[in-house]
Structure 1
Amino acid sequence: MVRWHAHWLWLVVLAGGGWVAWEHHGSASASSPRLPVTSEREVTCVYLARVNHLPPEARALDIWIPLAKSAAEQRILQRDVRAPIPYTVAQEPDYGNEILHATLEPPIPEHLEITIEYRAQLIGADAARAEAPPTPEELHRHLEASGLVIIDEEVRARARRATAGQLTPLAQARGLYDHVRGSMAYDKTVPGWGRGDTRRACRLGTGNCTDFHSLFISMARAQSLPARFKIGVVIPQERPSGVIAGYHCWAEFYVNGRGWMPVDASEAWKHPELADYYFGARDPNRFLISVGRDLRLVPRQQGEPVNIFFAPYVEVDGQPFLDVGVEVRFEDLKQGRAA
């Protein structure tokens, strides 16, 4: 059901620039080699979105923003939206993401700011919520190539080599994970990183978390192992509050009888001593924003499917508009770590 809301603007200061350049640089918790010492944390997380330099001659603006929801790794205890315009909230059909949508007509403001504040419990492995088993249609979706997550002969050959001699889905997934860690380097010096382009990952062997996990998902699907993409942020352990450096993403694969199992190959590349942990660990420092790639939004956007849905997606007069900024702040309410 679509719900209508109307609130007033909460003024915030945001970093400018497009979202593509705003990504995970390694927050304190992600870059630290020590393991989490708690199975649950309670935090506030404030997602600040801004659309900049809107053209005054625009006739219509549409904005879609991903809304975090309760999932296996988190419970959303409270969600408050502050916006200067009416908006709707709906669920997209493919991955179940909740989406805020708003439409503006003239006069179009030069800038637009929307704030979403969450209070959430982040859940570790021993307290993770059980998920309903995926439907056959959902599993089929997680086996198909999609957009930049391709399945070609190069991907199939890599997947065969990585899983040679592995007889169970779990062992095959570990072979794929180890292949990604061994064949990729976390390197953002070559343009094109961060789009989750499997072909580029195969060709260059470099990129960020998005590229690592696109390669993993492509190879998993080539081996008939359902796999999906998740994106959000990592909440630092070492400080009680502040700005989070950028997004982070991970992948999950599905095994009958065990459900969805997470992998974080890019963090394992940075910290090889934690490779066993990042294969299967439901890290209580992750805050999930959205699931999936190539999303059809609600209402449907006029442009192509959205490759990665972390920052707002905006269309001006039916054309994608890229001058958007995002900042995420957090506060640890329980200081959920050992003294």
Structure 2
Amino acid sequence: MENRSTIGKKKTGSGKRSRQAADERNNCDQGQRIAMRLLIGTIFMLAGVFAVDAANEPGIIKGSDQFEFIYRVKLPEIKGDARVWMPLAKTDAFQTVTAEEFSVPIKWEKVQDRDYGNDICVLYPQSADSGKAIELRYRVVRREKAAYSASGEDTSRYLRPEKLVPVNETFKTLALGATAGKTADLERAKALYDHVVRRMRYDKSGTGWGRGDAVYACDARTGNCSDFHAYFIALAR
């Protein structure tokens, strides 16, 4: 009897343990289901956040765009007579420019360059004008400019070497390497553009930048927009 009782107790204990194990499994399964629901909820919440962020990301604007453009200059210390040249925006086939406000508190005149017909604001500041601010404010409607044919123009003028944008073996070798396997003009131009963006970094520290010096840009691999342009043009030539 004791043995049977002991066995019975063992069976009873085993049954309790089985029920406890089953309860634990149920609790575990329930916990897993809750955790899974929380995880799925979190994923959907994050997906919503990412979707909102993606929706707020500015994309490439097609067709046309309009914006306000402000060109602002603060004059340095001036000793004696001086001259300052500032580009003036103008309407052409790809943009409509409306001058909203010209704040120029010193003597100036508008001239036009003889080669490209660009309008230029020429200022004649005196020492008393040191530190003055000049501000040109425009409203611009810009239309998308795709690749276009240069037929009818004297394209040879754009291929000639210049003092700061020479034609040499260094640029030729770099250009051939960047455009290897490309045959179409637009495809090669895109390859050169990608090469410039990968190679150069926008950095206005030190000296030598900002002159549109292609050799400097090639060696330093830094500069501002003028240096980026000069390097790209040297490669394209």
1:149 is aligned, of 165, 168, 172, to: 165
- Could you report, residue by residue, the CA deviation over 1:103-135 in whole angstroms, capped at 9, with x for unpaired residues? 356x74444333222122122358x9x998562
1:188 is aligned, of 203, 213, 216, to: 203
Aligned to 2:133, what secondary structure does the other structure show? strand
The structure whose residues are more often helix, as a share, is 2
Q: Which residue of 1 aligns with 2:113?
A: 92
Q: Distance in 2 between matches of 1:195 and 1:135?
A: 27
Q: Distance in 1 between matches of 2:210 and 2:168?
A: 20
TM-score by length of structure 2 reads 0.61
Q: Which residue of 2 aligns with 1:81?
A: 102
Q: Distance in 1 between matches of 2:204 and 2:119?
A: 34
Taking the TM superposition and a 5 Å limit, the aligned residue runs for 1:253-272 are: none
TM-score by length of structure 1 reads 0.45
Taking the TM superposition and a 5 Å limit, the aligned residue runs for 1:191-206 are: 191=206, 192-206=208-222
For residues 75 and 156 of structure 1, do their structure 2 counterparts lie closer, same or farther at Cα, with a shift above 3 Å needed?
same
Q: Which residue of 1 aligns with 2:60?
A: 36
Question: Which structure has the greater CA radius of gyration?
Answer: 2
Taking the TM superposition and a 5 Å limit, the aligned residue runs for 1:280-319 are: none
Alignment of 1:161 onto 2:181: no
Q: Distance in 2 between matches of 1:165 and 1:64?
A: 43
How far off is 1:37 after superposition? 4.3
Aligned to 2:99, what secondary structure does the other structure show? strand
Contact in 1 for aligned 2:107/2:125 (Cα 8 Å)? no
Taking the TM superposition and a 5 Å limit, the aligned residue runs for 1:43-62 are: 43-55=67-79, 58=80, 60-62=81-83
Aligned to 1:149, what secondary structure does the other structure show? coil
Runs of at least 5 residues in structure 1 that lack an aligned partner in the other structure: 1-31, 222-339
Aligned to 1:61, what secondary structure does the other structure show? coil
Contact in 1 for aligned 2:204/2:224 (Cα 8 Å)? no
**Higher RCO (CA-CA < 8 Å; seq separation 6+):** 1
Q: Which residue of 2 aligns with 1:69?
A: 90
How far off is 1:218 after superposition? 0.3
- Could you report, residue by residue, the CA deviation over 1:81-109 in whole angstroms, capped at 9, with x for unpaired residues? 2323443212101222201123356x744
Matching residue's letter, 2:218: C
Q: Distance in 2 between matches of 1:186 and 1:206?
A: 5
Runs of at least 5 residues in structure 2 that lack an aligned partner in the other structure: 1-55
- Could you report, residue by residue, the CA deviation over 1:282-316 in whole angstroms, capped at 9, with x for unpaired residues? xxxxxxxxxxxxxxxxxxxxxxxxxxxxxxxxxxx
Q: Distance in 1 between matches of 2:190 and 2:205?
A: 28
Matching residue's letter, 2:71: Y
Q: Which residue of 2 aligns with 1:174?
A: 190
- Could you report, residue by residue, the CA deviation over 1:142-186 in whole angstroms, capped at 9, with x for unpaired residues? 11222322221111122222333433322322332233344x042
Same amino acid, percent of matched pairs: 31
The structure whose residues are more often strand, as a share, is 1
Matching residue's letter, 1:88: E
Q: Which residue of 2 aligns with 1:135?
A: 153
Q: Which residue of 1 aligns with 2:132?
A: 112
